[in-house]
Amino acid sequence: MQLYNEPHLQRKSDKCASLWKEWYNYHYGLKDYVRSKRMREKWCKCCDDFSIMLDNELKTNPRYNNGRYLLREPESKEGPHKD
């Protein structure tokens, strides 16, 4: 499933998801806590790198003009329904 329009972001997201699945398998499936710890460290590093990539994309890509692309406009103080 593709979540990002930018290929480099999608690849990094997929990589982080794959590392998480490996960690989950080691930790909960195989109960190998030594490998689980190493996988958790790799996954955390991947997520840290990914957050930096996302931050850079928001700051440099004109598509995300001031982050408005990602945020919905507030509907109203009364709520979505106008009865």
Residue range 3-34, pLDDT digits in tens:
888 999 999 999 999 999 999 999 999 999 99
Q: What pLDDT is attached to residue 12?
A: 97
39 token code pair: 């996988």
83 pLDDT tier (thresholds 50, 70, 90): very low
Q: What pLDDT is attached to residue 61?
A: 86
Token pair 């009364």 is found at: 78
Mean pLDDT of all residues in 67-75:
53
* Residue of 23 and 63 predicted with greater confidence: 23
Burial class of residue 27 (count of CB atoms within 10 Å of its CB; 0-12, 13-18, 19+): middle
With a CB cutoff of 8 Å and minimum separation 6, the contacts of 17 are none
